[in-house]
């Protein structure tokens, strides 16, 4: 949605407000607060010729069908709620976003639910909290109603 954000020479976004170039109606904090997370594309490596596989891989529609099937499989969100703890925020949108993002990571990385507490924190909860933290940081920049907070997670 944010497309190509102009970067400074250090590789970070040139503007503090990532939503600055969007139309006014998309810069409403009530709308932005409903976004679960921001993927920091500026931190991802560029795709080069050597990155493209020359071997057999998953076909996108097959992989998509698997993910779609997992969407309706029960137990993943309950697992996150039972084994994860969100610290630093009591905001319902923050908590729901982190739970939903962590549930997605859990389905992708540990579909059999055989995951250690350390792996749950490092590969599911912490990345989810990080994506949501970027949204919270943007809200803090855009509106004084949103107080700065540091969202953290832990295993129960």
Block means of pLDDT (10 residues each) for the chain, length 156 residues?
A: 75 82 88 92 84 74 80 89 95 95 94 95 97 95 91 92
Count CB-CB contacts under 10 A for residue 126: 19
- In degrees and rounded to multiples of 5, residue 84 shows phi and psi of -120, 155
- pLDDT in the model for residue 82: 96
Read off the pTM: 0.84
What tokens does 65 get? 């069908």
CA distance 77 to 132: 17
Residue 1: per-residue pLDDT: 64
* The pLDDT of residue 53: 76
**Per-residue confidence (pLDDT) for residue 20, from 0 to 100:** 83
Structure-block tokens of residue 102:
């962590």
Tokens of 83: 């084994």
Please tell me the predicted confidence (pLDDT) of residue 122: 97
| Calpha distance 55→42 (Å, rounded) | 28
Tokens 């529609």 belong to which residue?
61
């Amino acid at each position: 949605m944010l497309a190509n954000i102009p970067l400074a020479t250090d590789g970070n976004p040139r503007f503090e407000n990532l939503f600055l170039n969007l139309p006014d109606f998309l810069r409403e904090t009530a709308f932005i607060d409903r976004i679960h997370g921001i993927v920091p594309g500026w931190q991802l490596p560029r795709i080069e010729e050597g990155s493209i596989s020359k071997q057999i891989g998953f076909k996108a529609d097959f992989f998509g069908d698997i993910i779609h099937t997992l969407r309706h499989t029960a137990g993943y969100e309950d697992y996150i709620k039972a084994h994860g703890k969100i610290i630093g925020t009591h905001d319902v949108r923050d908590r729901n976003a982190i739970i939903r993002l962590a549930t997605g990571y859990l389905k992708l990385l540990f579909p059999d639910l055989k995951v250690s507490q350390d792996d749950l924190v490092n590969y599911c909860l912490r990345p989810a909290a990080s994506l949501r933290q970027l949204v919270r940081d943007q809200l803090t920049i855009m509106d004084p109603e949103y107080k700065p907070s540091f969202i953290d997670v832990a295993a129960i």
